[in-house]
């Protein structure tokens, strides 16, 4: 079991990709009201789940195109395992044992007239870009009509479309592992190593038109293990350990190394003296 609180922070470099489209704005890259780019926690968890599945682990929340058990809904997947007479306590215990993503992130089960909420020990924040992002919109056309043209026209309206992408951006994502919830869900050290591997390879097998191969990469992972369940310092102070520079050059000409993303060594040493352990990992 996990007996220590964990905080982790990782960076994502985006070059000519749409890291997370917003359906409310025509699938343009997500931004906050100040123009900083965002990647939703749901999006990041989806990619972690996909990596878990790629590694051969059983997960509950599978996307439809990755369903390998014949079930097209979560309800059917749940009811295939649990009878309505099974107690909520047994459902919680067995779900944590069977499905890795439930053991990590928790799950709400509302099937069979249940109202069961399982709290997961792993939390992920919304990813935020270091600087306001610049979005490019490209008009695209198809060489053939998707629908039969009407009114004597040679092409239907669906041959025209748009594609949006971030020219360049660096996003920072924060996460943590709650040791109290880990004790209840059964999350162990082997699971923690799996999470590290998922983060290092987050964008493997994630290629799409919006995210061409090599356009998104996890660059640095800053991993902090506390000496207690409560933590040696707050998660807020851990976030403040990450420092970076804003380069003078234009964003389009900037490279990852220009931002000099690093840990505040002086503060880190102070925290290490009271028990904090630090590990640096790099994305694949």
Residue 104 is given by DSSP the state H
User: What single-letter DSSP state applies at residue 205?
Assistant: T
Report the 10 Å Cβ neighbour count for 108.
11
Residues 262 and 14: their CA atoms lie apart, in Å, by: 18
Specify whether the CB–CB gap between 242 and 235 falls below 8 A: no
pLDDT (0 to 100) of residue 248: 82
DSSP state of 203: T
Position 55 scores a pLDDT of 97
Q: Do residues 284 and 12 touch, judged by C-beta distance below 8 A?
A: no
CB atoms within 10 A of CB 275: 14
Print pLDDT tens along the chain (284 aa). Answer: 899 999 999 999 999 999 999 999 999 999 999 999 999 999 999 999 999 999 999 999 999 999 999 999 999 999 999 999 999 999 999 999 999 999 999 999 999 999 999 999 999 999 999 999 999 998 877 666 556 666 666 566 666 678 999 999 999 999 999 999 999 999 999 999 999 999 999 999 999 989 999 999 999 999 999 999 999 999 999 999 999 999 887 666 789 999 999 999 999 999 999 999 999 999 99
- Rounded-to-integer distance, Cα 121 and Cα 178, Å: 5
The pLDDT of residue 27: 94
- The pLDDT value given to residue 251: 60
Look at the chain and count its residues. 284
Tokens 């951006």 locate to 169
Q: Is the distance from CB of 116 to CB of 92 less than 8 angstroms?
A: yes
Instruction: Give domain limits for the chain.
Output: 6-42+50-56+121-282
What tens digit of pLDDT does each residue of 108-144 get?
999 999 999 999 999 999 999 999 999 999 887 766 6
């Amino acid at each position: 079991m996990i007996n220590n609180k964990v905080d982790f922070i990782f960076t994502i470099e985006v070059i000519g990709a749409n890291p997370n489209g917003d359906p409310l704005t025509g699938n343009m890259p997500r931004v906050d009201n100040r123009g900083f780019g965002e990647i939703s926690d749901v999006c990041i968890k989806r990619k972690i789940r996909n990596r878990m599945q790629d590694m051969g682990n059983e997960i509950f929340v599978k996307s439809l195109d990755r369903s390998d058990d014949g079930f097209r809904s979560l309800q059917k997947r749940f009811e295939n395992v649990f009878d309505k007479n099974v107690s909520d306590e047994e459902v919680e215990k067995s779900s944590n044992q069977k499905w890795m993503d439930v053991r990590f992130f928790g799950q709400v089960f509302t099937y069979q007239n249940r109202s069961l909420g399982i709290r997961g020990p792993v939390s992920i924040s919304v990813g935020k870009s270091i600087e306001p992002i610049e979005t490019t919109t490209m008009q695209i056309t198809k060489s053939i009509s998707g629908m039969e043209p009407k009114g004597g026209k040679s092409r239907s309206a669906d041959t025209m479309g748009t594609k949006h992408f971030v020219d360049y951006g660096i996003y920072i994502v924060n996460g943590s592992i709650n040791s109290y919830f880990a004790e209840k869900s059964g999350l162990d050290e082997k699971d923690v190593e799996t999470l590290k591997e998922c983060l290092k390879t987050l964008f493997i097998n994630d290629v799409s038109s919006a995210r061409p191969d090599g356009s998104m990469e996890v660059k640095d992972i800053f991993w902090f293990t506390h000496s207690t369940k409560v933590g040696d310092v707050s998660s807020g102070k851990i976030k403040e350990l990450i420092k970076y520079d804003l380069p003078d050059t234009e964003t389009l000409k900037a490279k990852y190394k220009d931002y000099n993303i690093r840990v505040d060594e002086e503060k880190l040493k102070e925290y290490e003296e009271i028990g904090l352990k630090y590990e640096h990992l790099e994305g694949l």
